[in-house]
Chain A
């Protein structure tokens, strides 16, 4: 870690400067945000400390993997910040709107394209603390989310050094030491890295944001409508990122189906019955396009394996799963990725299977190497490896290479499948329903939210992460190497995935109508009669502009590989520039006035 650390320092220095610029930028955006609708909540130091702590917790391993999957999401973050600051309903509405931008957010292969947690916790705190409304909150949260990439690169570099501590413990055959190394070095470091800056920013930021807000309210009021416009357009980015996964092969028409039906229903829909309809469509799609499965074969293999000799009990496997569930990313770093987490998950197994010190050392070292996959779905690999270790301890001729080949061979495919299922489909759909419940279908306009929304997301996500995670882990152990091929070959997974994608397209299509808002006030007076462009567009199809915008952003993201950051800033810029009142429009009295080109 000699060269990279040096380079990281330089990167961090540059990143810090960008941070400052972004912070300055976000204050300018915040200035432009619509007039305060509520009296600001005074941010006390204890409040700020709790908010910093909550942000750290959402990144920490102590919530049984519900941190990253649940508490890291702005919908939940906004709720918690709202509760701490005494305005839960407002917090939920703000969180739901910030979450629109991160609906299709995915972290894969160790990259962190923006930080929904930071946007959610700090964004909501600053919004409530300065009296910003829902749309203003999104405008300030968007640039804030980018700052997370800086702490992330620092964490990924520094945690690599802690990996060597784990190596040292492994060398001594110290099983508990390896487990400790995964937590006791990396976590205090991350606590300082995450909690302190957020506490400070939350405590000191609100006043600054509020001051800026007052200034702009007095001096450049049109910038505010620009920010409103940008906020409505930013939703297209959140949706486009999701569509990157969904608009594929034979399921893309369902996106348009959802879009058109929601448009016919007048825009904002109740998502639960809508999702139920999507479920029916998904069932029909899968039934009519499905191929036969080979369940017979799966059964046969199960029978053979059932007679195997075992040393480990379900309790041991559960102990291993629990460690993996919590600590897979505890010491996540560029050098080994989840390597230390994997080693940690094997500690209860190694402790039970091996007694001789050299065996223990060898086994620990075997599992501290580079490893990276999707933790919930990829848990099946841990299960398989446990089975192989057990066979080996029972005297079977299984080499280090054989075990490593299984890990290395499966981690890539499982990461691909797992990220598609969990981050690409399950989280966005459950989040979308949660956001819809939270705001009564009025994301971006509702100022008070319903706690049932975040609660629904929490419960359903926990069921998925814990239920599916443990089932796959156990299946991997019980069925060994055949588990993966059997599950893949049976076609169940394929059917589930294409069904989920139909549902996803349908729901996201409907959401595009209520989330993305874009109109044009442009109108001309020709020979005494008025031509209002928006009315003409509505004759073709209402909500045409949001659809076009979403598809253009999708095309840029999915086909042209344009970076999300660039698109985000471009949208904010376009939103503001297009609100400069220089275009002809017609007011209610029928007089020609000057207005912006676009509005929300």
Chain B
């Protein structure tokens, strides 16, 4: 799977796939001078990174699938109440959270959606 991700990335980009612990460590040990994009599967991962000291000021949420117990909040993005709480706590820490599925498209702020 890591191979696929690495090969799918545009040429010239370095792709690293790591566990949460390892990425916290490597991000803390060598703060990267280059622009780094951190991709995460779940909101809770963002929270774990944040709590471990990898702080960020903004977080973008892309498409998240619909399922039982989830609520559609924006275009193809659905969240559960658990995820809502996680994002809420990040927002309370001052992180600006935005929903945007495709770069340059219309976006929506997390603070504008009703509590779930």
A residues contacting B by CB (< 8 A) are 1, 3-4, 108-111, 113, 156, 160, 248-249, 334-337, 369-370, 372, 405, 409-410, 412-414, 416-417, 484-485, 488-489, 494, 498, 557, 561, 563
Contact = CB atoms under 8 A, between A and B. Distances in A.
20 contacts: A3-B114, A108-B102, A109-B105, A110-B101, A111-B101, A111-B102, A334-B75, A335-B66, A335-B78, A336-B65, A337-B76, A369-B67, A370-B63, A370-B67, A410-B4, A413-B7, A416-B8, A485-B3, A489-B3, A557-B104
Interface string B1-34: 1011101101110000000000000000000000
B85 interface: no
Contacts of B104: 557, 561, 563
Given A3-B114, A334-B72, A335-B78, A109 B102 contact: yes
B69 interface: no
B63 A489 contact: no
A413 B13 CA distance: 14
A489 B65 contact: no
Nearest to B78: A335
A1 B72 contact: yes
B111 interface: no
A485 B67 contact: no
A422 to B, nearest CB: 15
Given A3-B72, A370-B67, A561-B104, 14 more contacts: A4-B72, A108-B102, A109-B102, A111-B105, A113-B105, A334-B75, A335-B78, A336-B66, A370-B63, A412-B8, A413-B7, A417-B8, A488-B4, A489-B7
Nearest to B104: A561
A417 B10 CA distance: 9
Which of B12, B105, B114 has most chain A Cβ within 10 Å? B105
Contact of B4 (A249, A336, A413): A413
A573 B52 CA distance: 52
B7 A485 contact: yes
B8 A110 contact: no
Interface in B28-65: 63, 65
A409 B4 contact: yes
A60 to B, nearest CB: 22
Contacts of A409: 1, 4-5
Contact of A249 (B12, B67, B76): B12
B11 A249 contact: yes
A109 B4 contact: no
A413 B5 contact: yes
B1 A109 contact: no
Contacts of B101: 109-111
Contacts of A108: 102
A248 to B, nearest CB: 8
B103 A561 contact: yes
A160 B66 CA distance: 10
Most chain B CB within 10 A, of A3, A248, A414, A498, is at: A3
A246 to B, nearest CB: 13
B65 A369 contact: yes
A488 B102 contact: no
- Highest count of chain A CB atoms <10 Å: which of B10, B66, B105: B66
A485 B66 contact: no
Contacts of A485: 3-4, 7
Interface in B74-107: 75-76, 78, 101-105
B109 to A, nearest CB: 15
Contacts of B8: 412-414, 416-417, 488
Contacts of B105: 109, 111, 113
Contacts of A489: 3, 7
Contacts of A249: 11-12
Nearest to A2: B71
Nearest to B3: A485
B3 A335 contact: no
A485 B8 CA distance: 10
A567 B4 CA distance: 36
Nearest to B65: A370
Contacts of B72: 1, 3-4, 160, 334-335
Contacts of A156: 75
Contacts of B76: 109-110, 334-335, 337, 370, 372
B80 to A, nearest CB: 13
Contacts of A1: 72
A414 B4 CA distance: 9
B98 to A, nearest CB: 13
A70 to B, nearest CB: 24
A372 B63 contact: yes
B63 A109 contact: yes
A473 B71 CA distance: 33
Nearest to A371: B65
A3 B74 CA distance: 10
Contacts of A3: 71-72, 114
Nearest to A417: B8
Contacts of B63: 109-110, 337, 370, 372
Contacts of A484: 4
Shortest Cβ-Cβ A-B pairs, 3 listed: A370-B65, A413-B8, A488-B7
Contact of A488 (B3, B65, B78, B114): B3
Looking at A249, A334, A372, A405, which has the most chain B CB atoms within 10 Å of its CB? A334
A372 B77 CA distance: 12
A447 B66 CA distance: 50
Nearest to A157: B72
Contacts of B1: 405, 409
B15 to A, nearest CB: 11
Nearest to A408: B65
Contacts of A488: 3-4, 7-8
B75 to A, nearest CB: 5
A391 B7 CA distance: 27
A7 to B, nearest CB: 10
Nearest to A487: B7
A195 to B, nearest CB: 25
A380 B102 CA distance: 23
Nearest to A4: B72
Contacts of A160: 66, 72
A485 B1 CA distance: 8
Contacts of A109: 63, 76, 101-102, 105
